[in-house]
Structure 1
Amino acid sequence: MNAAEPQKNSPVSPPPRLTDDALVALAAQIKIWGRELGFAEVRMTDVDLSHAEAGLQAWLDAGYHGEMQYMAAHGTKRSRPAELVPGTVRVISARMSYLPEDPDWRTAERQHAADTAVISLYARGRDYHKVLRQRLQQLADKIRERTGEFGYRAFTDSAPVMEVALAEKAGLGWRGKHTLLLSREAGSMFFLGEILVDIPLPVDTPTGAHCGQCTSCIDVCPTKAIVAPYQVDARRCISYLTIELHGSIPVELRPLIGNRIYGCDDCQLFCPWNKFAQPALVDDFAVRHGLDHARMVHLFAWDEATFLRMMEGSPIRRIGHESWLRNIAVGLGNAASQLRGDPVIVAALQNRLTHSSEVVREHVLWALEQHAC
């Protein structure tokens, strides 16, 4: 859901004239290069997403995108890559794993103490936008060395691109009932990126869907944001509430957030396919600053300068210090379910009662009310 500047493209030029055999060989080589650059898998697809347009429009019409106006701002460019980048005929779709080297990571993630800050696994290391863009650019450079100049744009969660639909069509997996891409070999704990190109590469075959009758993701969602299979109301999603939403978090949803202060992984933690999730092939996503087990009162004490310094190069930085404190205040309030009246927590909250932000003060007062009940 993040918006970032797209990777600069090479000069628009006539597509390289390659024989069919050369295109097949190039596609195979691109997959090898991708692996060498840290991508777990790279595949290709055409640009026809007409099958996905109606579903996207219905989702927008229902208002499920909430304040994410960028989801509706680009018209048909989101579902028509050739309108976004004229000349595009193929999409190189890639996935990159981000899990740490812990075979029992799912168990560990279900056992956070009530006063521990829970941050989505993907956000504990370097900003994935930068990591993937750099490596997609390196992949594009390798292609140019082989073919000469060609037209392309590289993206990762940074433009009106239907990444999951393209990845699904390229055969990287299928859309799960939680709307994330799922792979039989790697679950869903990975990032997606793509290069839109004007080279008519051979396309790969989609895989089938393998969710079956399973509804684990729907059943476990704390806020019931998965309103139906393959439909998420972002306005109820904890990732949206803690990252995308500006201002106040709805009072009725605050108790459901628990101690999740940035994002939520629950639908993935309980997905059976994630027993096959693979560790990262690059070290960029290694945990920084102890964000896998930090206490909320410690993070709540950071002033803005400390927040900006500690979150340098992190995707968390973009939400800003105000939302950071807002989210932690909710988490500290919810800690009252097990630690009601804890003097350290109460003192930390009281220290923020005079914060300059009305939003922060509102959530701090709410949190203190939970400890006074």
Structure 2
Amino acid sequence: MAKMKQARSAAWLIAPAMIVLTVVIGYPIVRAVWLSFQADKGLDPTTGLFTDGGFAGFDNYLYWLTQRCMSPDGTVGTCPPGTLATDFWPALRITLFFTVVTVTLETILGMVMALIMSKEFRGRALVRAAVLIPWAIPTAVTAKLWQFLFAPRGIINELFGLNISWTTDPWAARAAVILADVWKTTPFMALLILAGLQMIPKGTYEAARVDGASAWQQFTRITLPLVKPALMVAVLFRTLDALRMYDLPVIMISASSNSPTAVISQLVVEDMRQNNFNSASALSTLIFLLIFFVAFVMIRFLGADVSGQRGTEKNRRRWRRPGRKGAAVAGAGVGITGAAVASEVASS
């Protein structure tokens, strides 16, 4: 009876937050999915008036996935060149390319920065504050800053004696966007990884040094396993954020769907500007499904323990096993719990 009363009280406490989330997040998602199955309003050739498209089934999805368009006479065929649908697969490849490259670089650099900031040295607080400055700058300001640096006669070309068209050459433009994104978002990765590093007991490293472990062995056998929960949460958050990248390539390079750095989010905005709200809803739904799939894979198969429960349960099983001895093992068990707590704090 007491448990039922406690559960009822908890339900009443979280009910306002759940209602707000349903209105702010749930309704737009449901509305976008419903609109994605509706045809956009078209111009009736006989009356010259705009007519309600009605139910369109999967036509809007096929428009993006197979570049299937309907001609004015009602026949269905391949979309002509210049149609937004023809830019879908190139934009998807560019988006995935940006995601893989930026997240990989940010993870490596973020780990290095976190390892440096976790050491005890004079001025550590100043270094931590300075590292977070790029992350605190708004993305629009960052984009304009790097656009100025990569101008045809900007600082980069003048300083290194280059003559690279950073905003028009395809690979140069992509490299510029990647560099700007890595500069801005690496501190975010470093901050989450640092939270996991600080939960690792110092006694674990002391025991490893007594046993003769090298610095590389300490990193691979102690640091990486114990910081993995926080590291995977950081990678998950950054991956989902990179998949919906929009403002950085738009402001730095171009808002056109023909841009060498055009991502799928740009196609949504461009389609809405052409008053094709239902097909834009279909593309938004596809982006949502892509992000959901990536999040599911990372949480289910790659060990991104967002809740922290998996690491806690693994730690309990470790302590139940007989024959475990040594200060290093005991410290590892505590470290796993701490890293799981750090990941839970980071995800909240």
Task: Decide which structure has greater strand share.
Answer: 1
Greater C-alpha Rg: 2
Task: Decide which structure has greater helix share.
Answer: 2
Task: Using structure 1 for the length normalisation, give the TM-score.
Answer: 0.22
